[in-house]
Amino acid sequence: MMDMETKFAGLLRDRNLKATPKRLELLSVVANYHTAIPYSELQKELHHFDRVTLYRTINALLDSGIIHKASVSSDEVYYAMCKEYCTSECHNHKHVHFKCLECLEVSCVDVTNPIQIQIPNTIVKQVEIEVSGVCSKCI
């Protein structure tokens, strides 16, 4: 089986991004974090990154659809790997973001039956759903 690093390098090269050590490290941190990782945690784990490098690396990965952002209830920003193949134009997720109000963990939850939302006289292109509540561990 292909190891993580090889897989990440492939993801990067597919999008014409160079597979640099910084990017591979950031991806490994994001991927190994059990849930969506808060920005502050990324900073902590990657404190040896220059602030600007962290900023640009995150942006590059967001733009190219390798990671995605989840900002539930407008406090801190969280990042997680994209599961499906996403591009800069279209982040296509069949999941919702769930934030536990107790432990503050944010996770991506797959939804079985796709959520249909129709708004009269409009074309709906993208739907983002952010749910907050209490997770199984905190009940």
Partner DNA sequence: AGAACAAGTGCAACATTGTTGCGCATTGTT
Partner DNA sequence: AACAATGCGCAACAATGTTGCACTTGTTCT
* Binding-site annotation, residues for Zn(2+): 100, 103, 135, 138
Nearest approach, Cβ of residue 77 and a copy of itself (Å) = 8
Closer CB to DNA, 71 or 92, in the complex: 71
Q: Which listed residue (5, 28, 33, 39) binds DNA by CB under 7 A? A: 39
| 58 φ/ψ angles, rounded to the nearest 5 degrees | -60, -45
Nearest-angstrom CA–CA distance, 84 and 41 = 24
> Which residues have CB under 8 Å from 99's CB, separation 6+?
72, 73, 105, 106, 130, 131, 132, 133
Give the pair of three-digit tokens for residue 70. Answer: 């989840």
Question: At what angle are helices 4-14 and 21-32 packed, to 10 degrees?
Answer: 120
Nearest approach, Cβ of residue 57 and a copy of itself (Å) = 18
Binding residues, by number, are: 100, 103, 135, 138
Q: Which listed residue (4, 6, 14, 18) binds DNA by CB under 7 A? A: 18
Q: Which stretch binds DNA (CB under 7 A): 27-35, 56-64, 84-92, 125-133?
A: 56-64
